[in-house]
Amino acid sequence: MLLVIDVGNTNIVLGIYKGTELLDHWRISTDRLRTTDEYGVLIRNLFFWNEISADSIDAVIISSVVPPIMPTLERMCQRYFGISPLVIGPGVKTGMDIRYDNPREVGADRIVNAVAAYDKYGGPVIIVDFGTATTFCAVDGKGAYLGGSICPGVGISTEALVQRTAKLPRIELRRTDGVICHNTVESMQAGVFYGFVGQVEGIVARMRKELGGNAKVVATGGLAVVLSPATGAIDVVEPMLTLEGLRIIYERNC
């Protein structure tokens, strides 16, 4: 079986594949201070409680946007699974032409998402990933990764609003009935929620125009299921898009 690991700035998402079937997946916090042993024990405990044998793992693939944590995770894979992981980076076959000024600058998660979206839906396709940052990526009809846009994520923006004002409280992200609200909490919720909906609609419309066609829009990330019902700009939500991309890339390399 294949263990796939997607390391984000806020969370690490793990999944186990048997062939093309995703058997299970988990989300844990990204903690740069955790040791090799702490990550090893945590992940093996997740396996234990879900009745998965660690000995059944034949391979590991990792994508990461947090370079300092990688030596710890690579040692964890070697010590607790006896496997040297395949790490997304230069030299790894993605099957995708990357038309970025410097391909090394592109976040591994953006490429992995693009691979999965194009494999499933063809192109042109736009991928919106609601993570710590909200990223918009474009793939043309021939499967070339063109680039995209990067915006502050919902969590970052909301936290900045709270920290830089004296009286505004922390809020739960929630869709309000409208944008003319009658108390501070709902006013903030409306501003954040519909502000990001407007951002998605605006950037997607411009990307579609630049692509010169009716590109399909695929959303992923933790908040995709929350925001997507409020807009017609998103065609489909794929919560496990990154894990699926890791599986595809592993198969192309091994």
- Annotated ligand binding at 132? The verdict is yes
| 158 marked ligand binding residue | no
162 phi/psi in degrees, rounded to 5: -70, -45
Is 108 annotated as a binding-site member? yes
Is 41 annotated as ligand-binding? no
Query: 15: annotated binding-site residue?
Result: no
The answer to whether 200 is annotated as binding is no
The two beta strands, 86-87 and 144-152, are unpaired
109 a known binding residue? yes
Q: Is 55 annotated as a binding residue?
A: no
Selecting among 37, 58, 109, 140, the annotated active-site residue is: 109
User: What is the C-alpha radius of gyration for the chain, rounded to an integer number of angstroms?
Assistant: 19
| Burial class of residue 75 (count of CB atoms within 10 Å of its CB; 0-12, 13-18, 19+) | middle
Is residue 184 marked as binding?
Answer: yes
Angle at 41 between CA 69 and CA 64, to 5 degrees: 25
Q: Is 134 annotated as a binding residue?
A: no
Query: Rounded CA gap, 147 and 152, in Å?
Result: 17
C-alpha to C-alpha distance for 157 and 188, rounded to whole angstroms: 11
CB–CB of 204/126 below 8 Å? Answer: yes
30 is in an annotated binding site: no
Asked if 230 and 193 count as a contact pair (C-beta separation under 8 A), the reply is yes
Would you state the torsion angle of the CA atoms of residues 32, 2, 15, 247, taken in this order, to the nearest 10 degrees? 100
Q: Determine if residue 110 is labeled as part of a ligand binding site.
A: yes
Is 7 annotated in a binding site? The answer is yes
To the query of whether residue 24 is one of the catalytic residues in this protein, the response is no
* Residue 35 marked as a ligand binder: no
Q: Are 188 and 196 in contact (CB under 8 A)?
A: no
Q: What is the DSSP letter of 169?
A: P
Sign of CA dihedral 2, 3, 6, 11: positive
Binding-site sequence positions for ATP: 6-13, 132
Binding-site sequence positions for substrate: 100, 107-110, 184
Q: Which residues are catalytic?
A: 109
Binding-site sequence positions: 6-13, 100, 107-110, 129, 132, 184
Binding-site sequence positions for K(+): 129
